[in-house]
Amino acid sequence: MRRFYSELFSLNNQLLGEYTKRSTNHQALLDALKEVNSMIQLAARLRFGNAKSTVIAACRKAIKNNNIHALFYIIKTGKEEHQ
């Protein structure tokens, strides 16, 4: 019986460790997304009207396509790259 409790205790500690790891990674992801969103908002505030909406939409599209180079270009110039 003691062996089963020790195995259960070990398994519980492993589960808690994995949960802590997932929780930490999730929080880091949320913090990074908040930082990216604030950069996009700052870039959008530099523009007015239609240009502001275009920057936000283009940045979201670049993030969705996982294109970091395009995201930096959009923030810098305010328009999408055309290839």
Phi and psi for 80 in degrees, rounded to 5? -75, 155
Residue 25 maps to a domain: yes
pLDDT at 83: 58
Rounded to whole angstroms, the Cα distance separating 78 from 61 reads 13
Domain range for 73 is 2-77
Residue 6 lies in a domain: yes
Residue 83 lies in a domain: no
Number of domains in the chain: 1
- The one-digit pLDDT tens for each residue of the chain (83 residues) are 899 999 999 999 999 999 999 999 999 999 999 999 999 999 999 999 999 999 999 999 999 999 999 999 999 998 887 75
Distance CA 77, CA 79 (A): 6
Does residue 47 contact residue 55 with C-beta atoms inside 8 Å? yes
Find out whether 47 and 76 touch, Cβ atoms under 8 Å: no
Confirm whether 27 is domain-assigned: yes
Tell me if 82 is assigned to some domain.
no
The shares of helix, strand and coil residues in the chain, as percent rounded to the nearest 5, are 85, 0, 15
- Flag whether 61 is in a domain: yes
